[in-house]
Structure 1
Amino acid sequence: MHPAKAARLKALQRHAERLQRRIARLDVRSNRYSWLRVAIFATGLTLGLALGLARDWRLGLFSFILALLLFSGVAAQHRRLEAHLSRLRLLSRLLRDQQARLRIDWSAIAPLPPEPAGSESQPDHPFERDLDISGPRSLHRLLNTASTSQGSQRLRSWLLSEDPDLSTILHRQALVAELVPLRLFRHRLQIESRLAGGQSGILRSEQLQARLQQEQPNARLIQSLILMGSLNLATLILLAGQLWLHLPPWWPLSAALSLLIFLLRRRDAGDLFEEAFELQSTCAQLSAIFAYLERRRFPGQPHLQQLCQPFSASQLSPARALRHLSLLLSLASFGQNLLLTLLLHLCCPWEFLIALRLNAWKARLARQMPRWLETWFELEALCSLATFADLNPDYHWPEFIVPDPSDPATSDQRPSLLYEGQGLGHPLLPPDSKVVNDLALRQGSAIAIITGSNMAGKSTFLRTVGINLVLANAGAPVNAQRLRLTPLRLFACMRINDALTEGASYFYAEVRRLRALLDAIERPAAAPLLFLIDEIFRGTNNRERRIGSRAYLQALAAAAPRCAGLLATHDLDLTQLADTIPGISNYHFREEIHNGAMTFDYRLRPGPCPTTNALTIMRLFGLPVPESESSDTLPSPKSDQERARKQAPQQSEET
């Protein structure tokens, strides 16, 4: 493990241990509060009964009321302590989760929030399944610290972006870089978001916005309000006339008429109780987090200040507005009790007043709520990337090569295609066993054929190259000592599944995928494309596979500089294409066998692979292999040996 990462892990462990000791002390105090509440209530009840029976009932009642007041004060203190404890327990879980993310311990990493309908994995996506972007052991789960499904899906959409926009990437990098040192802010935001999302992690923001935009006609409400108000006033005047002026009792008639009109026109106010039930809990959840974001200031962080402007610069205070709406909804919930509702409407047109005020506040909130929610979800996704950067101090920010705007000769030109990585590692592999490698793909040497023995690391290296490009395009740091690149799209052909429901074979699915790759390369006005192909045409016979592979590689080479990429294969005949097609280079992984045991160092080396190990693996697992046959050591062609000496990359080291 990298020393900086090991130091970060130790700091997290120390923080978690201190927090656990604090929680234990507060748990003891909470238990004492529980016993104190029992003692106060029991003492007050006993003393009240004793004094009431032995002396005076008023003295007993007074002592019991005094005990109840003391009990209420202690209960309030206990509730505050329990609320504080619940936040500390959440923080403790967050710290344990961060340790698991740092060690890549999938059993302890928090699961993803429930996905909304329609967000399943896309089978035709250029790289989602191939590179483990989504799923239970995926890049999305490793990065995601968002507590709401909306924030999690925002992060996922960044990881699955197919068309990189350089200005968006650089702006997101700046935001994440400003968030990295703000650990307390990220922890507080995550805790408040967890509390707002509830146990399910789903904030029903769509239903909230739909309810805010749903208004009852104000004209009908005003008519009902005037009519009901007039009848209520008449009832009160007639009642007062009977009591003081001894007029005939006409007020029951006006009261009955007002109740009849209320029942007939109640639908003008809509179903206030249903609306209150749906919105009240959501508003209470949002008010706490909006209040925190409204109070928070970001001195020296201009990008964060601009992002959070809807909270800090809004004329309508988000937290105050939600608290006011929550109060109105609480008043509207009286409609659950029909008897109480009828009694209220004898005095005033209660529901029509509340409905009119609700319409006014809903109209104000409907204009602002989308901006507030969007900012919150954006912050959740950005904090996920910032936490990833904070937990991995050995990762570095990618360097995007862009034309110099001050140079008129190059400002309007697209830079030459480049992907140059030093110390590339796979972020989903545990840091203790990770091996890093170097790679350079540039115009004139844009296609690398990777050969190697079984289990030597070819597929993992392809995924390493691709997943670091995904991180770079999302605005996150990459698992590399250095990564210089131009904006690149990504397309992978690594996991081809038989489409059984469509009656399609593996080979048919692979051909369709490779055709989609060529179509993506030929898209006009798009960024260059980095392709990753693992074992091309493995679904057919050897002869036709070789013919098709050669033709396909020739087509890819002819498409340069619109594309670059890697092709992993066991077919050593394909390595000879480097002698005839410019821009193709050979690299390989190899194994070593000592005393019948096979070992791998997972180092990328120049040139074709000089060895094979299939027969050795079969023999190690007890499969029948003729004694006269053995895995071969293959001589490298002279041209490949010379090219290997010229193109030998700097040897990589273990992390």
Structure 2
Amino acid sequence: MEPSILNTYQQTAAFAQQEADKYKKMANNYGLYRLLAFGLFILSICAAIAVDEVGIIGFSLAVLVICFSWLIKKQNHFETLGAYYQDIKKVNENEITSIESRGNMYNNGAMVNNEKHYYASDLDIFGNGSLFQLVNRCATFPGLVKLAGWLNAPAKKDVIILRQQAISEIANKNDWKLDIQAHLLFSLKQQREQIKNLLEYLKIPVELKDEKWLSLYSKIAPWLVFVAIITAIFYVPARYFVPMLMLFNYRLVSSRSEIVDKTDLIAGKIGKTLAHFVLAFKSIEGEDWQSAYLKEVSAKIKTGDKDNVSHKIQQLSLLINKLNYRLNLLVKFVLNVFCLWDIRQVIAIENWKKNNHQSFETAFDVVAEFEAIISLASLKINNHDWCIPQIADGEGYTIIAKHLAHPLISGDKRVDNDFELDNAFKIDIITGSNMAGKSTFLRTIGINTVLALCGAPVCASEMKVSVITIITYMRIKDSLNESTSTFKAELDRLQLLLKAVESDDKVFFLIDEMLRGTNSVDKYRGSKAVIEQLIKKKAVGMVATHDLQIAELEAAHPDYVRNFYFDIKVKDGEMLFDYKIKHGECKTFNASLLLKQIGIDVEE
């Protein structure tokens, strides 16, 4: 990670705060102007009463509606800009937090974790302090599910390469990335099913009785009121007709209040939601994408004319927002007596739904797809020393890496290692002392391979990897709910592994201390038998163990088994760890020293 990216985020966050403060002040000013306009309206009513001129009231109402509409529009515009810059600040500050402490305001994915998944729990893919917490930039639930799916299973080679190209393109458009994140940030506070509910609403019609007649009358009503007011100014007896006409209009709207309220209950809550999605759609449609992947995905909503999804969704958003004018009781009264506002908007919304029969599921899936790509691109943007891995071909298994390290360990603490498995079939036995780094190395191999095979950058200077299916055997736990002992849980996991080796394509296993739930003799015999069976099945993977006898399998199978180890150095009674992997068997162990440190002496 280069310090310059931190500086960029800090400067952008500071600028965004200044802009947010500016627009908040401007919005407050227009709030005061609205209050002033209402005050002038009250004065005009007093003047009309004083001179006994009803026409003044009608004229003032018309002026008030026009002024109020304009002032509300301006105030909403500045409030929207202020909220946008607040969100820009938040997404930039979130990137700073992610770089400095691995924190993230986005969901950590605990809700989609599956304890029985091949590797998710053992490799810390989901949950607090997980890979998902580091990576995720998906505000919508469909985006979160899509990203989780990518991390849960390897993609095909051609898909991986297409995603890599897309990630590289977005990594060069960091301002665009932060912009669309800001537009979608509102979704973090929304219900999980917000998009599903929205799509269901678009399919449900609202029937309005006498719709044709009401549609026609609602168009003529404003002109009737206007003509009545003008007539009343010049013909005194007509003054009594104006309030009667207005009362008729209001009663007409009130008689349909149940339908209007039903529409408002469902649609009224999604107006702002749609407005945010419009901006997200426009962001995607407005870019000239070069990578094949992003071109293909964006083409689903990008037609180049007014049939773009953003234009259609914006039409609905504006109609719903107009219906929301009724939330202000005074404005509601004025609009309804002049032009049957509520009825007009309900009819307009239903007409939009009738004229837009196409499915919008695809459009929102495009947003989810972009969110997932954006999430992976954040790794490349924030970690310039990470690499895009090469995807290897060949019948054998390939994992070749230089300076490979664990992405969830901070840069100042993690230790990197080199590793090479080049188009081969091998089982690597890794021995070593307690806390020397065996388990961490297995997880380092696993978690970087997961990243590589979903298209993401990896925490290494170079990496080449086959498309493989990882299965882990690490944190085996008993289960009281399922009446499962630790040993039974281990047997179940081994059965899963052996079955996968036979049925799945290119399984790569990571085993950390096999059969811990039994005695040492059975542990050794069982572990040896399992590894020999895996060799017969031409399985490939790594086994970390404290049992030195397992390392003797290299002599029995020199073409298939390789020994590696992590060791320690003891200096003046102090243990020194270098966390570097080495070829061969471990000769130095530290259990006795660790026990002595807690006051237990072990006989030599």
TM-score by length of 2: 0.80
1:225 aligns with 2:212: yes
- Aligned-pair CA distance for 1:345: 8.9
- Aligned-pair CA distance for 1:358: 2.6
- Aligned-pair CA distance for 1:548: 0.8
Partner of 1:111: 105
- Aligned-pair CA distance for 1:502: 1.1
- Aligned-pair CA distance for 1:295: 2.8
Aligned residues: CA RMSD: 4.6
Partner of 2:129: 137
Amino acid at match of 1:558: K
Partner of 2:140: 148
Alpha-carbon separation, structure 1, partners of 2:591 and 2:417: 24
Alpha-carbon separation, structure 1, partners of 2:258 and 2:31: 48
Partner of 1:12: 5
1:329 aligns with 2:320: yes
Match of 1:578 among 548, 551, 554: 554
- Which deviates more, 140-149 or 224-233? 224-233
- Aligned-pair CA distance for 1:511: 0.7
Change (3 A) 1:32 1:459: closer
- Aligned-pair CA distance for 1:332: 4.4
Task: Give the SS at the match of 1:283.
Answer: helix
Task: Give the SS at the match of 1:278.
Answer: coil
Alpha-carbon separation, structure 1, partners of 2:108 and 2:79: 28
1:608 aligns with 2:589: no
- Which deviates more, 484-493 or 327-336? 327-336
Alpha-carbon separation, structure 1, partners of 2:460 and 2:419: 11
- Which deviates more, 223-232 or 85-94? 223-232
Match of 1:568 among 544, 566, 570: 544
Alpha-carbon separation, structure 2, partners of 1:257 and 1:17: 59
Match of 1:489 among 443, 446, 469: 469
Alpha-carbon separation, structure 2, partners of 1:31 and 1:357: 32
* Map 1:549-564 → 2, pairs under 5 A: 549-560=527-538, 563-564=539-540
Q: Percent identity?
A: 26
* Map 1:219-368 → 2, pairs under 5 A: 221=208, 225-226=212-213, 271-298=262-289, 300-313=290-303, 316-332=307-323, 354-365=345-356, 367-368=358-359
- Aligned-pair CA distance for 1:147: 2.7
- Aligned-pair CA distance for 1:25: 5.9
Alpha-carbon separation, structure 2, partners of 1:231 and 1:30: 37
Partner of 1:95: 92
* Map 1:412-561 → 2, pairs under 5 A: 415-442=395-422, 445-523=425-503, 526-560=504-538
- Aligned-pair CA distance for 1:231: 13
* Contact kept? 2:250, 2:340, Cα under 8 Å: no
Partner of 1:643: none
* Contact kept? 2:405, 2:416, Cα under 8 Å: yes
Task: Give the SS at the match of 1:513.
Answer: helix
Partner of 1:123: 115
- Which deviates more, 381-390 or 281-290? 281-290
Amino acid at match of 1:598: M
- Which deviates more, 34-43 or 83-92? 34-43
1:175 aligns with 2:175: no
1:159 aligns with 2:156: no
Task: Give the SS at the match of 1:474.
Answer: coil
Task: Give the SS at the match of 1:168.
Answer: helix
* Contact kept? 1:332, 1:354, Cα under 8 Å: yes
- Aligned-pair CA distance for 1:331: 4.8
- Aligned-pair CA distance for 1:184: 0.9
* Contact kept? 1:179, 1:383, Cα under 8 Å: yes
Q: 1:426-481 deviations in whole A, cap 9, x for unaligned?
A: 11111112211122235655100000000000000000010111001110111122
* Contact kept? 1:33, 1:74, Cα under 8 Å: no
Alpha-carbon separation, structure 1, partners of 2:253 and 2:31: 47
- Aligned-pair CA distance for 1:554: 0.6
- Which deviates more, 583-592 or 336-345? 336-345
What stretches of structure 1 of length at least 5 have no aligned partner? 47-56, 59-68, 247-253, 403-413, 630-655
Change (3 A) 1:602 1:480: same
Q: How many residues were matched structurally? A: 564
1:370 aligns with 2:328: no
Alpha-carbon separation, structure 2, partners of 1:123 and 1:602: 29
What stretches of structure 2 of length at least 5 have no aligned partner? 40-49, 52-65, 238-244
Q: 1:34-92 deviations in whole A, cap 9, x for unaligned?
A: 9989999999999xxxxxxxxxx99xxxxxxxxxx999999998876765555444434
* Contact kept? 1:389, 1:395, Cα under 8 Å: yes
- Aligned-pair CA distance for 1:556: 0.8
Alpha-carbon separation, structure 1, partners of 2:582 and 2:112: 39
Change (3 A) 1:81 1:607: same
Change (3 A) 1:119 1:72: closer
Task: Give the SS at the match of 1:310.
Answer: coil
Amino acid at match of 1:539: G
Alpha-carbon separation, structure 2, partners of 1:72 and 1:266: 23
Change (3 A) 1:40 1:206: closer
- Aligned-pair CA distance for 1:227: 8.7
Task: Give the SS at the match of 1:179.
Answer: helix
- Aligned-pair CA distance for 1:112: 2.8
Alpha-carbon separation, structure 2, partners of 1:356 and 1:209: 19
- Aligned-pair CA distance for 1:266: 7.8
1:379 aligns with 2:355: no
Q: 1:186-230 deviations in whole A, cap 9, x for unaligned?
A: 111111111x4264585710000000111246xxx5765349979
Amino acid at match of 2:5: L
- Aligned-pair CA distance for 1:545: 1.0
Task: Give the SS at the match of 1:455.
Answer: coil
* Contact kept? 2:171, 2:378, Cα under 8 Å: yes
- Which deviates more, 26-35 or 379-388? 26-35
- Aligned-pair CA distance for 1:601: 0.3
- Aligned-pair CA distance for 1:95: 3.3
* Contact kept? 2:487, 2:517, Cα under 8 Å: yes
TM-score by length of 1: 0.74
Q: 1:359-418 deviations in whole A, cap 9, x for unaligned?
A: 33224545252222111111111111111012112111211123xxxxxxxxxxx63222
Amino acid at match of 2:113: S
- Aligned-pair CA distance for 1:501: 0.7
* Contact kept? 1:425, 1:436, Cα under 8 Å: yes
Alpha-carbon separation, structure 2, partners of 1:481 and 1:230: 71
Amino acid at match of 2:98: R
